[in-house]
Amino acid sequence: MATPAVEVRELVKDFVDGAGQVVRAVDDVSLSIREGEFFALLGPSGCGKTTTLRVVAGFEDPTSGSVLLRGRPVLGVPAFHRPVNTVFQDYALFPHMTVLQNVMFGLRMAKVSAAEARRRSLEALAMVHLPDAGERRPGQLSGGQKQRVALARALVNRPAVLLLDEPLGALDLKLRKAMQYELKQLQQQVGITFVYVTHDQEEALTMADRIAVMSAGKALQVGTPDAVYERPSSRFVADFIGETNFLEGTLEARYGERGVVRLAGGATVAAALRDPAAAVGHAVAVALRPEKVTLAARDASASSLPRSDDATTELPGVVADVHYIGTDTRYRVRAAGVEFVVRVQNRQTGFDAMLPRGTEVVASWRSDHASVLA
Ligand SMILES: Nc1ncnc2c1ncn2[C@@H]1O[C@H](COP(=O)(O)OP(=O)(O)OP(=O)(O)O)[C@@H](O)[C@H]1O
Ligand SMILES: [Mg+2]
């Protein structure tokens, strides 16, 4: 296997807060980030994303654990000697220098000749679509333009790894979307490993090759966007990424990769066992995405008994509520003593195709589209 660009092994970082209490900001995190990968650290405020990044950058020393860059342990190597650069949310540009001087700064510090530094800096500015801004000062630029300058400055000395801490956080939504696309293009073009911190799940899903979902200092799950979305291994991940129904029940039995869950109303359903913490006899939830469920009106002759096997789950129920939202219709369905949301795409014309409130329905889904979580 190729040497990872970044390896974090059993990283722990404690801080002592103002009251003298120890705060464990990073709690036994291990990550292996591949060369050229766009890797996102995703999680809510305070979960330890920035701290993890700062330890990799060399701005903080770990309490324990290690960091390797291209296979080389970097404990004790100062930040400016590591083959990484960091882009911060607030740009951190030098206000008294021109844009070009800002971009050239690192190269000049590294004793690259003025002519060479200038050439490479202009090239970097062209790469971030700011070829003519070199003589301006940061104060004369918009937020998006400042972030481009910060990017150019970070890329100009060709680091092995670029660390980005919520780089688009200060931008409005529209610009943010445009910059997401641009940044992804740029990353593919330069082929540099990106470690990208965000608390925005949509941003992580659209940009990253792989995501580490963090909570309370721990990396709960690491995987591709579709893996963390489709196959969450904990309730936190299922809840944090996208919309999920949690059908509460008790785990009755496990068969290989399947669990059988007794729901509140007594019916049992089969679902994929994805959470190692789910134990037989204990409370669990069946996590089910609203768009995975198909609804059909149930006629009088149809069975009113639930059915769930390895392939399919079918629950008879009733439409408790309907909301037309243009692209989709959102149903609230009551079945087997639980309630859940179903999202149906409006491929047929709006209201005609809708199942009105009170309709007796069968809700069905592929059993392995649902996950048993502790
Ligand atoms: N220098 C410090 N001293 C004390 N506690 C700190 C320090 N830096 C961070 N922490 C604490 O460590 C935890 C993780 O902080 P961190 O900044 O890594 O979170 P984050 O995931 O980046 O959050 P956000 O999304 O808000 O930026 C928090 O509880 C924070 O208060
Ligand atoms: Mg942060």
Q: What is the CATH number of the domain that holds 198?
A: 3.40.50.300
Are 307 and 218 within one domain? Answer: no
- In angstroms, what is the span from residue 217 Cα to ligand 1's centroid? 9
Decide which of 164, 197, 230 is a domain's last residue: 230
Q: Which of ligand 1's atoms lies nearest the C-alpha of 49?
A: 21
Q: Are residues 197 and 136 in the same domain?
A: yes
62 shares a domain with 181: yes
Pocket around ligand 1: residues whose beta carbon is below 6 Å from it? 15, 17, 23, 25, 43, 45-51, 199
Q: Are residues 216 and 266 in the same domain?
A: no
Q: Please give the biggest Cα pair distance in the chain.
A: 84
Does residue 237 lie in a domain region? Answer: no
The predicted structure's pLDDT at residue 305: 86
pTM for the predicted model, two decimal places: 0.92
Examine the domain organization and report whether 274 and 178 are in the same domain.
no
Do 149 and 247 share a domain, yes or no?
A: no
Answer yes or no: do 40 and 127 share one domain: yes
pLDDT digits (tens, 9 = 90+) for 230-253: 999 999 999 999 999 999 999 999
- Nearest atom in ligand 1 to the alpha carbon of residue 50 is 22
Residue whose CA is closest, atom 16 of ligand 1?
Answer: 48
- Ligand 1 atom nearest to CA at 44: 25
Report whether 166 contacts 136 (CB < 8 A): no
Q: Residue 233: its pLDDT value, please?
A: 97
**Domain identity same for 264 and 364:** yes
Place of tokens 């390895």: 310
Beta bridge pairs of residue 269: 261
285 neighbors 245 (Cβ within 8 angstroms): no
Ligand with the closest atom to the CA of 14: 1
11 located within any domain: yes
Ligand nearest to the CA of 51: 1
CB 329 within 8 A of CB 341: no
Domain coverage including residue 359 = 243-373
**pLDDT value of residue 348:** 77
Residue 164 CA to ligand 1 center (angstroms) comes to 16
Distance from C-alpha of 328 to C-alpha of 287, rounded to nearest angstrom:
21
Q: Is residue 319 part of a domain?
A: yes
CATH number of 292's domain: 2.40.50.100
Strand partners, 29: 11
Q: Atom 2 (ligand 1): residue with closest C-alpha?
A: 15
Q: Is 331 a domain residue?
A: yes
Tens digits of residue pLDDT in 295-338: 999 987 777 888 988 899 999 999 999 999 888 999 999 998 99
**Contact in structure between 335 and 319 (CB atoms under 8 Å):** no
In the reported structure, the alpha carbon of residue 108 is separated from the centroid of ligand 2 by a whole-number distance in angstroms of 30
Query: Distance between CA atoms of 71 and 7, rounded to whole angstroms?
Result: 8
| Residue numbers of the chain with a pLDDT score lower than 50 | none
Instruction: Name the residue with the closest Cα to ligand 1, atom 12.
Output: 25
> For the chain, what's the residue count?
374
Number of folded domains in the chain? 2
Say if 235 falls within a structural domain. no
